[in-house]
Amino acid sequence: MSTRRATIADVAREAGVSPSTASVVFSGKTPVSDATRRRVLDAASALGYTGPDPRAASLRRGRSGIVGVVFEEHLGTAFLDPVKTLMMDGLADGVAPIGAGLLLLRDHEPVEALDSGSPARAVPTLTTAPLDAAVLIGCSGHLRESLETVIARGIPVVVIEGDAGDGVPRIDLDNREATRQAASHLRTLGHTEVAVVTLPARGGWERGWILDDTAITIDVTRDRLAGALDVFPEARAFAAAGSFIDEGLAAGRVILADPVHRPTAVIAQSDLLAAGVIRAVEEAGLRVPEDVSVTGFDGIVVDGLAPYELTTLVQPATDKGRAAGQAVATMLEGADAASIRFTCAFREGNTTASPPDRD
Amino acid sequence: MSTRRATIADVAREAGVSPSTASVVFSGKTPVSDATRRRVLDAASALGYTGPDPRAASLRRGRSGIVGVVFEEHLGTAFLDPVKTLMMDGLADGVAPIGAGLLLLRDHEPVEALDSGSPARAVPTLTTAPLDAAVLIGCSGHLRESLETVIARGIPVVVIEGDAGDGVPRIDLDNREATRQAASHLRTLGHTEVAVVTLPARGGWERGWILDDTAITIDVTRDRLAGALDVFPEARAFAAAGSFIDEGLAAGRVILADPVHRPTAVIAQSDLLAAGVIRAVEEAGLRVPEDVSVTGFDGIVVDGLAPYELTTLVQPATDKGRAAGQAVATMLEGADAASIRFTCAFREGNTTASPPDRD
DNA sequence: TTGTACGCGTTATCAG
DNA sequence: CTGATAACGCGTACAA
């Protein structure tokens, strides 16, 4: 049949009922007699009608059943991070009760060249996607911009790990306090020479030392660093370009390079970074934790790190995601959602010990 | 302002132009004089109008700009698999030119209990999401069902690694041929006692031996196994419950348990499984590759596997995703998309060697 | 270049 | 339990 798809009106006509009755059969919003239902269903299958067009339904209802999840990175990259992965998991759980799907979005679309001869076309994003709500996974300066876009559209929004301002529910961690715990642990062990390997200082950051005048626009980085400095005000900090083992390795090499300033402990802002630092320590012919103690952050399973068991802060990543999902669900039902700050659990592994005796 | 949001009609009225003119200003489909444009834009910002409602626009256009990606697993789990992660990456790339967003969907919604007192509500899925197209990441029997749903809706669909039948474009690998290569490599080295650690045999599979009468409904598993059996018809196969290091470890333990039947080589159907098998070998007090050779599949970076470098088949995971995305784009433009079979590259690492001398 | 008219496919609402 | 009516907010022929 080269004709257009059947609509609910066609089905109704075929079944000899009114469109509204047919609609009700599919939505189940109102009781329908069995006989009528059967007629409608039969007519539908006869016409190859598979149910209401979601586009029309969402226009009418004012709901699309879609929650946008905004990343600032290349989508693929986002899932390379175990913590984000777990968050997505929780998020999926959290929105399940309202039956929403998760739409992956990037906050600043890459400047795509004109491909395949097709004329320049607007790349849909936050502005043009049919979202019921949005979850911003926050960090960089783009967050601010995305936030405005979403708020302007009047869409409920939740921010994970970022400064939302206003009345925007925020899901985050006690980053500063948590790091302070790790640092205190190190001080208790007797460390005084400590270095910090941080997450990026801001979007597009290349790895390098954080100096007094370095602006840190990423909240997580700033807060965790503050926690470390609370205990070791003199600690030097080197910011990696991302949360990867290789970045930790690179940072570790730099930090350990100068024998004079060599720290006896390194506070890494993520487990992956910590794993890299451990490699750097080994590479330098030193031992963990005998010569250098290392702490991480996240409490993820770093595959293949054995025999080390990282001393780290275990963050409830899945819970964070779930909380965000629930907050979204709450807002979608018209209620106000509260911000939630989760707490990390300090977990002592075998990567921290007292510093070696000095001569 | 407790009143409803402004519509394009309001903007037009405020600007003193017709609705269609205002529409054109936002869509850019037709030239508009600068003066008019300015008036419209000013009116829009005065009214807090942020652009056309995506729901209405998509009804009118017949396009939502959304491509569904259907997983059969818990969403979070999907991203724990590096290969899927890379595929998503490529997919995001592939659909970028048409500016589509990716909507994460599960094929069989978990049986959610009634939460939060809200009445039982239909959980939207494949049937109710406003999709322009769908990508099925295939395996289990659910695929069949999902496929029918999508086809009934008349939505373009592409299947990755699964049997699509009909005229559905399929993106997959030369799984059988690739595995055959690895197996041949082992035979050339002199191995005769070989075991296979496979991916799950079907959805919901618990780990266990694959017997003659075991039905394997997952294509990837079946094809890769066939490739191994082409070379070693007598090889025994143990199916893991998923592609994880731990599963490989568990499988390895079972396979190595019986000293009489102990193989000199293990063909694992994924790198993660292979990594687990290697651990099992070490755990048994044996060496890789001196006592037991191990091959993998995927060519991903298995974090922390050093000093081993897996002998494996490198699959172009990102390319697969990108191809799927492009196929979707093609179909959306009304053309037919072809199925594509990608080729894996054999990469020899240091986990395979000649078998030990037998007494 | 701008305006008119209409319909995209549904579903709330309310009366019967 | 069923039906008539009226939007939902927009894009696009077509005419002016």
pLDDT exceeds 70 at position B16: yes
The tokens of B108 are what? 């069989």
Peptide bond into A54 cis (omega under 30): no
CATH 3.30.390.30 fits B66-173+317-342, yes or no: no
Report, as an integer, the average pLDDT of B289-317.
Answer: 91
Does A64 contact B48 at a Cβ distance shorter than 8 Å?
A: no
Query: Is residue B93 over pLDDT 50?
Result: yes
pLDDT in tens, A2-51: 456 789 999 999 999 999 999 999 988 888 898 999 999 999 999 989 88
3-state secondary structure (DSSP) of residue A79: coil
Cβ neighbours around A338 below 10 Å, total? 11
* Residue A203 pLDDT greater than 50, yes or no: yes
- Residues with Cβ within 8 Å of A305's Cβ and at least 6 positions away in sequence, in order, are A275, A278, B304
**Rounded to whole angstroms, how far apart are CA atoms A140 and A163?**
10
Q: Are the C-beta atoms of residues A11 and A43 closer than 8 Å to each other? A: yes
A175-315: CATH topology: Rossmann fold (3.40.50)
pLDDT confidence band for B4 (50 / 70 / 90): low
- pLDDT, residue A118, reads 35
CA-CA distance, A221 to A213, in Å (whole number)?
A: 15
User: How far is C-alpha A95 from the chain's CA centre?
Assistant: 15
Domain boundaries, chain B: 8-52, 66-173+317-342, 175-315
- pLDDT value at position B71? 82
A26 is near strand C: CB distance < 7 Å: yes
pLDDT of residue A309: 94
Q: Which residue has the higher pLDDT, A122 or A125?
A: A125
Read off the pLDDT band of B114 (50, 70, 90): very low
A37 versus B122: which is more confidently predicted? A37
**What pLDDT is attached to residue A99?**
80
Q: What angle do CA B248, B254, B255 make, to 5 degrees?
A: 85
Measured between CA atoms, the residue of chain A closest to residue B90 is A76
**Nucleotides, chain D, CB distance < 7 Å:** 1-13
Tokens of B16: 């003193």
Contacts of A270 in chain B (CB under 8 A): none
- Check A97 against B118: CB less than 8 A apart: yes
Q: pLDDT (tens digit, 9 = 90+) per residue, A54-105?
A: 999 999 988 899 999 988 766 666 777 888 888 988 998 888 888 888 998 8
Q: Give tens-digit pLDDT for A301-316.
A: 876 677 899 999 999 9
Q: Which pLDDT score is estimated for B48?
A: 87
Average pLDDT of chain B, as a whole number: 87
- Check if the beta carbon of residue A66 is closer than 8 Å to that of residue A295: no
- The kind and range of the H/E element at A103 are strand A101-106
Cross-chain Cβ contact A104/B102 below 8 Å: yes
Higher-pLDDT residue of B92, A235: A235
Percentage of chain A lying above the pLDDT 70 cut: 90
pLDDT band at B84 (very low <50, low <70, confident <90, very high): confident
Tell me the pLDDT band of B92, cut-offs 50, 70 and 90: confident
CATH of domain A8-52: 1.10.260.40
Interface probe, candidates A107, A301, A303, chain B, greatest B C-beta count within 10 A:
A303
Closest C1' nucleotide to B60's CA? C8
- The yes-or-no answer to whether A66-173+317-342 and A175-315 have a common fold is yes
Nearest 5°: the CA angle B133, B139, B145 is 60
In window 112-131 of A, residues with CB < 7 A from nucleic chain C are none
Classify residue A278 as exposed, middle or buried by CB count within 10 Å of its CB (0-12, 13-18, 19+).
Answer: buried
Pairwise CB contact (< 8 Å): A131 & B80: no
Give kind and range of the element (H or E) at residue B198.
Answer: strand B194-198
Say if residue A79 is exposed, middle or buried (CB neighbours under 10 Å; 0-12, 13-18, 19+). Answer: buried
Out of A88, A98, A154, the one facing B76 most closely (by C-beta) is A88
- pLDDT tens for residues B22-63? 999 988 878 888 888 889 999 998 988 888 999 999 999 888
pLDDT tens by residue, B208-263:
999 999 999 889 999 999 999 999 999 999 999 989 888 999 999 999 998 888 99
DSSP annotation of A125 reads -
> Would you state the structure tokens that stand for residue B237, as one six-digit string?
């196969």
Q: Which residues contact A211 (CB under 8 A, 6 or more apart)?
A: none
The pLDDT value recorded for residue A345 is 98
Residue A303's identity, in one-letter code, is D
Summarize pLDDT for A261-292 with one digit per residue, the tens.
899 999 999 999 999 999 999 999 999 999 99
Tell me if residue A342 falls in helix, strand or coil.
strand
Is A123 close to B99, i.e. CB distance below 8 A? yes
Coil, strand or helix: which one is A156? Answer: coil
Residue type, B183: A
Residues of chain A positioned with their CB less than 8 A from the CB of B79: 79, 85, 88-89
Q: How confident is the model at residue A113 (pLDDT cuts 50, 70, 90)?
A: very low
- Residue pLDDT, tens place only, B183-200: 999 999 999 999 999 999
**Chain C footprint bases within 7 A of protein beta carbons:** 1-13
For the segment B257-293, what is each residue's pLDDT rounded down to a tens digit?
988 889 999 999 999 999 999 999 999 999 999 999 9
Please say if the pLDDT value at position B158 is more than 80.
Answer: yes
| pLDDT top residue among B14 and A120 | B14
Of A127-131, A349-353, B326-330, B337-341, the poorest mean pLDDT is in A127-131
Q: Is the per-residue pLDDT at B85 higher than 90? A: no
Q: What is the pTM of this model?
A: 0.85
Strands (E), A211-305: 236-239, 265-268, 293-295
Q: Give which of B118, B177, B125 is closest to B155, Cα–Cα.
A: B125
